[in-house]
Structure 1
Amino acid sequence: MVYIVQVLVEHPTHALDTAFDYLANEEIMGGVRVAIAFGYQRIIGYVLGCEYSSMTKEELEKIAGFKYRYISEIIDERPLLNQELQELSLTLAKLTLSPRISCLQAMLPPQLKPSTNKSVRIKYQKVIKVINKNIVVNTVKQQEAYQFLKEHADIPLKDFPYSRGLLNKLIEQKAVLVVDEEIYRDPYLDNQKKEHEFPLTPDQQKIVGSIISKINTYHTALIHGVTGSGKTEVYLHLSKYVIKNNKTVLMLVPEISLTPMMVNAFKHKFGKQVAILHSKLSSGERYDEYRRIINEEVKIVVGARSAIFAPLEKIGLIILDEEHDSSYKQETKPRYQTTQIARIRGKYHNCPVILGSATPSLESYSRGQKGVYDLYKLPKRINQFPLPEIELIDMAVEIRNKNYSLFSKAMKEKIQTCLDCGEQVILLLNKRGYATYVRCLDCGEVIKCPHCDVTLTYHKVDHKLRCHYCEHQIEMPKICPHCSGEQLKLVGTGTQKVEEQLETNFKGAKVIRYDVDTTKQKDGHQKLLDQFARKEGNILLGTQMIAKGLDFENVTFVGVLNADISLNIPDFRANERTFQLLEQVSGRSGRGKKEGTVMIQTYNPEHFVLQCVKNHDYLSFYQEEMRTRRLAIYPPYVHLVSILIQGKDETVVDQCALQIKAYLQKQLEDMVILGPANSLVYRMQDIYRKRIMIKFTNSKLLYPVLEKMSDFYNKKGNKVNVVCDFNPYNQI
């Protein structure tokens, strides 16, 4: 007798997106990993099912017409994913046109993915256990140590305050035993203290009461609350109610940089009932946090995007803070939208999904206006202070007045005044690096990445030019690689250069730079924010990472150095992203007892987006942008799917793009099909990239057509790769 086991292999390709049959001498549960021989490789597979057969291996082979292989090893004692998540992987594969194995891999932390190249082990520590409490030991000193161990149950060996010789004598007398005991690695050991609970304002009470009245029914609620209006307190009170009723909470934030703030809020209130999931944890920490969740030892999971797949049981509440943020969209396979997965899980558990933002996405707010979502508003700050005054600085006027500096005269004065008063400043410049590019003044050439259609950015710290798309880097050349000229000029300004200028030009400036380059290390975000909180720095300079979630009472001034960077991107969401970024970063000012001010430097002060930001007027922005979207037929009036055609041979990519366009026009006659056009970055990592965009309202007609096309072009040996991205956030 044998068991036939259906195994999904770790290669995430459409050609192998099917279960392969193996044999086992025992029953294996679905959802565990197994080691298998696949061709000439030994790889990891994921068990989908297992059925008993009364036939022998030889009899089965005779019927099947091929040789069966046995499972080499069962890796897990129990399923990594529960039944809900196994079903969700199937739904996700259909929604994103991805192989199911890539969906399963997206759901698991790297240390547990069905993959052969990641390994992490359970952590153990030596613990002293008292195995006999009635032994009469030999000496007074032994008696003292023995008594200590009886009073301190299961003390770690490293914490035993007596000599090892004394311990050995107790072991010989069979009074105690040293054993290996599994321990969890805790990424937030220091955050166990409780915090003062704030009473809810009438607006907050109304929202909490309304959501609790429907707490056991699936629905989506959007909380539109201005920055500092106390959305986090609403989340905490709702979570407390849900946990009291023996259910669990999934709390998501968009970026790792925001996670420490939310972790602190939840850890202070709920202590060890909270698990943390995000990519900056060490391998061991993520592995242990995941096992705590599987073992049902926690009630709340706080994390970034991938935490939406946390294997919680009995979910009573799902929250997405800063719901508008583009990082909720997964940009690699499977290209899912976190909000969509949250709604699927909410429906499964029959619980509310709460979306919160000071600047909701147009899609979410329009659903709130139509009544598809329950719409709640928190129009005032929790401390009753007004939102900060915003001043738009026209940089064209500055240039006419012969000020060619990055800082306007008014901003210079304001920064220095804040520093002199012992207050803190946040400055936003959405460009990292030192200079944007290097130009030769002799021949006019710009030094570009040899693998991507972008300029190389100069980083002064290591004196290198770096590509921000493929990480190609070279030493800063002394002569032009095109004409050998020596007149190389650094053009543009990044955060590194601004940091230098601040420290040179402002008396008493202590700058903390907060960007991708300074936060690479583990806990990099938290360390820099802690330094700023302890006032070790008085200027926090950063990219868009500093715009959301930060709450520092001593920050009274926020400056935006160039508001036009995000406004001039060729993307239909450029206006929305700019409004969200500027409104969010403005909200970092005046969150304490001191009034806050904001200055935004721009060459387009009359632009309607900047005028709406100046007046903190989300509704006017929403109405104007919706008019534009309706005229141009863009979301939320339609859905989009982007088809990326990419390959190493430019001619083949061009031909395939035209073939795909012709096929789509024939199959989808009533849909608007745009392109093919070059991607914004046409060549990336030596791969040429074209896009086709489809606007649609009925996905039932679209999915079968795209599935057929995707299967045809993504076969092994094909010279192009075709990627379908539903509701894309990025057109790079």
Structure 2
Amino acid sequence: MYIVKVLVEHPVHSLDTTFDYLCDQQLKVGIRVFIPFGYQKLVGYVESIEKTPLSQEQLEAEAGFQYQYIIDVIDEEPLLNDELQSLAYQMSKMTLSPRIACLQAMLPAQLKPSTNHSVGLKLRRAVQVIADGKAQTVKQQECLDYLKEHPDALIQDIPYTKGLLDRLVKQGFIRYVQKEIYRQPLSLYQKESSQIELTADQKKVVKGIIEHPQRVSLLHGVTGSGKTEVYLALAAYYIENKRTVMMLVPEISLTPMMVEVFKQRFGDQVAILHSRLSQGEKYDEYRRIKKQEVQIVVGARSAVFAPLENIGLIILDEEHDASYKQESKPRYLTSQIAKMRAQYHHGAVVLGSATPSLESYSRALKGVYDLYELKNRINQKPLPKVEIVDMIEETRQRNYSMFSRKMKTRIQETLNRNEQVILLLNKRGYATYIQCADCGEVVKCPHCDVTLTYHKNEHVLKCHYCEYVQSYPQSCAHCGSTHFKSVGFGTQRVEEELAKTFENAKVIRYDVDTTKNKNGHMKLLERFRRKEGNILLGTQMIAKGLDFEDVTFVGVLNADMSLNIPDFRASERTFQLLCQVSGRSGRGVKQGTVIIQTYNPDHYAITCAAQHNYLAFYQQEMLYRQKAKYPPYCHLVSILIQSSQQQRVQIAAKDIKKYLTDHLHHCAILGPAKSMIYKLQDQYRERILIKFIQSDEVFEALQTMNDYYNKKQKGKVNVICDFNPYSQI
């Protein structure tokens, strides 16, 4: 008789404990089982198992409750190895999240402890040779010889008829079998692999990282300096030394070329993990990794949990990107998990970026990380020339267009030379909002405290936070007027204006709306590569990872959009975005140019980006961070209090503030204050920020508070603790 401790599949704090079940056989820790749970049949995750000499009656008499048996066993082998199971436990403590939520974050949907997903093996009929001999006819013998040379060939690939195969089956030479086929993620970029000779600077970086195999290294290289070639050289070295490699990118839709570069160089040794794969593709890629059939995993944030063994190197490209922060349970930071995994495997971590986060760069300057720099583009190509245009001055000159006069001229000149343009506007849709022309009433989302964005293509209003959609209003709900005006502009409206303004413009719009279908982002970029379009218009998705040699002009339509957000990282994000998108220009042999349109032409984030001067921005921004005592001069935790009832949020926020003030004596506690978006998805939200240096007392106090609100007060108020938050919306 065995007592099995099981975590149930629901990732809620009230169920964040193990439940005891009985089983007659020895089970392995980490497998899934079906269990009775009240009146439900749920999936559970075996956390531990203990043999007992007692009978069921003796156990129940001792425990004072009735035991139930496990219904069925789902897995023969554990889903996660010992390292990942231990990591899930650590993550639970670090993020104050239920353990099952951490386990679920590590697995593709088809393997999560859940009853709602099932993807089977992809099987195809194949032919297997089971005997040797001489066939009855010459044609049959030819077919048999072919099958001997191509063992387990799929029927669809055999250049002989089904009738001929059937006759060989009757003679006992072959038999039909079911063969598992891996689903292959689509690759659109087909180029021959070529080994590029590293520059002296690149060789120096590779040598330094290899010679310090268990360190965290920050690779600070300007856009176009060849960071990718450094990654490839490092990956090749570790594979030759029988180690595995993890290559992470912020979002796979932002950097499809990274996947292709690795596939071209390393072929079938590469597995891909990201959200744009089909359920079956994810399932097969995960199983290839687990079976140790690959040496490299390329993927987005969740790929950091890939079940690789003997990891020698973990690379985070564009390490500064906010996409590396998980914004739902468990709220982990990818770089932190990468360091933990590298430490376990005695491997190296490389953080690469043209615009590193202030936290990473300050650690590098202090010697916590090793710092490597690539200050020049490959072959000494010049960085693009950047010009700032003051849109206030354009308005004074009675130019009310979304394009400045210089921007119009530069776009037309570029198109006339048969070169390509990239335009950035970090706002999708047609208009920012719709307003009644008579009373000024703005159409807002009924579930969120935001305006609805007008999408002209579908003639609907959408909320970009909760996905609420409503038809275009016939009349104003406030005054009954039928006159509306659209205010602001998004990528749809810019696309329309480009077609009107430039006769030879062939625009490809690249945003969430146009890339939502499977492989949509790759198909659009391939069209741009083939010059089916000469203007690529997009949101921040186009700012990173794109390398088109004929792009010689980049235009930023509104550089202030990310600058005016009330967030201490607003200036840093603006600088990073402008530097990254500017780096898309002039990556070939031709000189690149950039125009940044702004209403704040003297802001240091914009002027430093125009000068490609990371160090000047870093020094200026660090002065402000030091004065305000924000990271990297402290640690930060955000406490979000939310409820469907406004009064409950206000009461809970005051109570939490008092509790924290009483228990945390060496911390700065800010708030409570209304969140930037006070109502989101029918939840009212207030926020408290804690700045601290030492974390021990903070974790202890927050654990107690978390247990109280998410277990004892469950359903009334939801309290979310987010360590090192990247977003404060």
Band the TM-score falls in, shorter-chain normalisation: over 0.9
Contact 1:82 1:311 in 2 (8 A): yes
Shift of 1:71: 1.5
Q: Mark the CA change 1:339 to 1:466 in structure 2 (over 3 Å): closer, same or farther.
A: same
The one-letter amino acid of 1:210's match is G
Q: Which of these residues, 594, 598, 604, is aligned with residue 594 of structure 2?
A: 598
Shift of 1:429: 0.2
Structure 2 counterpart of 1:502: 498
Structure 1 counterpart of 2:180: 182
Shift of 1:168: 1.6
Q: Mark the CA change 1:120 to 1:137 in structure 2 (over 3 Å): closer, same or farther.
A: same
Contact 1:36 1:43 in 2 (8 A): yes
Q: Does residue 297 in structure 1 map to residue 293 in structure 2? A: yes
Q: Does residue 21 in structure 1 map to residue 17 in structure 2? A: no
**Count of residues in correspondence between the two structures:** 728
Shift of 1:189: 5.6
Contact 2:129 2:151 in 1 (8 A): yes
Contact 1:259 1:302 in 2 (8 A): no
Q: Which of these residues, 208, 211, 228, is aligned with residue 210 of structure 1?
A: 208
Q: Which of these residues, 149, 163, 175, is aligned with residue 151 of structure 1?
A: 149
Q: Deviation digits for residues 661-706 of structure 1, max 9, x if unmatched?
A: 0010000122111111000000011110000011011111100100
Structure 2 counterpart of 1:131: 130
In structure 2, list runs of 5 or more residues that go unmatched: none
Structure 1 counterpart of 2:719: 722
Shift of 1:230: 0.5
Contact 1:7 1:49 in 2 (8 A): yes
Q: Does residue 241 in structure 1 map to residue 237 in structure 2? A: yes
Q: Which segment drifts farther, 552-561 or 32-41? A: 32-41
Contact 1:103 1:334 in 2 (8 A): yes
Structure 2 counterpart of 1:67: 66
The one-letter amino acid of 1:206's match is K
Q: Deviation digits for residues 95-119 of structure 1, max 9, x if unmatched?
A: 0000000000001111111111111
Distance 1:138 1:375 in 2: 72
The one-letter amino acid of 1:721's match is N
Contact 2:422 2:554 in 1 (8 A): yes
Q: Does residue 691 in structure 1 map to residue 696 in structure 2? A: no
Contact 2:188 2:522 in 1 (8 A): no
Shift of 1:53: 2.3
Structure 2 counterpart of 1:201: 199
Q: Mark the CA change 1:81 to 1:192 in structure 2 (over 3 Å): closer, same or farther.
A: farther
Contact 1:133 1:150 in 2 (8 A): no
Structure 1 counterpart of 2:678: 682
Q: Does residue 493 in structure 1 map to residue 489 in structure 2? A: yes
Q: Deviation digits for residues 260-299 of structure 1, max 9, x if unmatched?
A: 2111111111110110000110000000000001000110
Shift of 1:13: 1.4
The one-letter amino acid of 1:27's match is Q
Contact 2:187 2:260 in 1 (8 A): no
Structure 2 counterpart of 1:347: 343
RMSD, aligned α-carbons: 1.2
Q: Quick one: percent identity of the two aligned structures?
A: 63
Structure 1 counterpart of 2:118: 119
Contact 1:259 1:303 in 2 (8 A): no
Give 3-state SS (helix, strand or coil) of 2:380's partner.
coil
Give 3-state SS (helix, strand or coil) of 2:378's partner.
coil
The one-letter amino acid of 1:199's match is E
Q: Given the two structures, how large is their TM-score scaled by the length of structure 1? A: 0.98
Structure 2 counterpart of 1:167: 165
Structure 2 counterpart of 1:634: 630
The one-letter amino acid of 1:320's match is L
Structure 1 counterpart of 2:620: 624
Distance 2:142 2:237 in 1: 47
Contact 1:193 1:271 in 2 (8 A): no
Distance 2:331 2:714 in 1: 23
Q: Deviation digits for residues 369-399 of structure 1, max 9, x if unmatched?
A: 1111101110000131110000001111111
Distance 1:497 1:540 in 2: 14
The one-letter amino acid of 1:723's match is I
Distance 2:205 2:144 in 1: 57
Shift of 1:259: 4.0
Q: Which of these residues, 281, 284, 287, is aligned with residue 285 of structure 1?
A: 281
Q: Deviation digits for residues 166-217 of structure 1, max 9, x if unmatched?
A: 22221111111010011111104667865111111111111111111122xx
Give 3-state SS (helix, strand or coil) of 1:564's partner.
coil
Contact 1:560 1:599 in 2 (8 A): yes
Distance 1:237 1:189 in 2: 22
Q: Deviation digits for residues 412-467 of structure 1, max 9, x if unmatched?
A: 11111111111000000000000000000111110000110000000011100000
Give 3-state SS (helix, strand or coil) of 1:71's partner.
coil
Distance 1:193 1:122 in 2: 30
Structure 1 counterpart of 2:554: 558
Q: Does residue 363 in structure 1 map to residue 359 in structure 2? A: yes
Shift of 1:17: 1.0
Q: Given the two structures, how large is their TM-score scaled by the length of structure 2? A: 0.98
The one-letter amino acid of 1:719's match is K
Shift of 1:645: 0.4
Contact 1:428 1:546 in 2 (8 A): yes
Contact 1:518 1:524 in 2 (8 A): yes
Contact 2:189 2:526 in 1 (8 A): no
Shift of 1:137: 2.6
The one-letter amino acid of 2:727's match is N
Structure 2 counterpart of 1:511: 507
Distance 2:478 2:137 in 1: 86
Distance 2:510 2:183 in 1: 27
Give 3-state SS (helix, strand or coil) of 2:151's partner.
coil
Give 3-state SS (helix, strand or coil) of 2:541's partner.
helix
Structure 1 counterpart of 2:424: 428
Distance 2:703 2:664 in 1: 13
Q: Mark the CA change 1:295 to 1:668 in structure 2 (over 3 Å): closer, same or farther.
A: same
Structure 1 counterpart of 2:454: 458
Contact 2:188 2:526 in 1 (8 A): no
Distance 2:150 2:117 in 1: 38
Structure 2 counterpart of 1:43: 42
Shift of 1:717: 4.2
Contact 1:10 1:45 in 2 (8 A): yes
Shift of 1:139: 3.1
Distance 1:256 1:678 in 2: 34
The one-letter amino acid of 1:117's match is N
Contact 2:14 2:714 in 1 (8 A): no
Q: Mark the CA change 1:194 to 1:298 in structure 2 (over 3 Å): closer, same or farther.
A: farther
Q: Mark the CA change 1:730 to 1:336 in structure 2 (over 3 Å): closer, same or farther.
A: same
Distance 1:53 1:262 in 2: 53
Give 3-state SS (helix, strand or coil) of 1:702's partner.
helix
Shift of 1:50: 1.6
Contact 1:12 1:102 in 2 (8 A): yes
Structure 2 counterpart of 1:706: 702
In structure 1, list runs of 5 or more residues that go unmatched: none
The one-letter amino acid of 1:431's match is K
Shift of 1:52: 2.0
The one-letter amino acid of 2:47's match is L
Q: Which of these residues, 524, 530, 535, is aligned with residue 531 of structure 2?
A: 535
Distance 2:219 2:212 in 1: 15
Q: Does residue 231 in structure 1 map to residue 230 in structure 2? A: no
Q: Does residue 567 in structure 1 map to residue 563 in structure 2? A: yes
Structure 2 counterpart of 1:12: 11
Q: Which of these residues, 716, 728, 731, is aligned with residue 728 of structure 2?
A: 731
Give 3-state SS (helix, strand or coil) of 1:518's partner.
coil
Shift of 1:63: 2.0
Distance 2:96 2:251 in 1: 26
Contact 1:440 1:446 in 2 (8 A): yes
Shift of 1:31: 1.0
Distance 1:150 1:34 in 2: 42
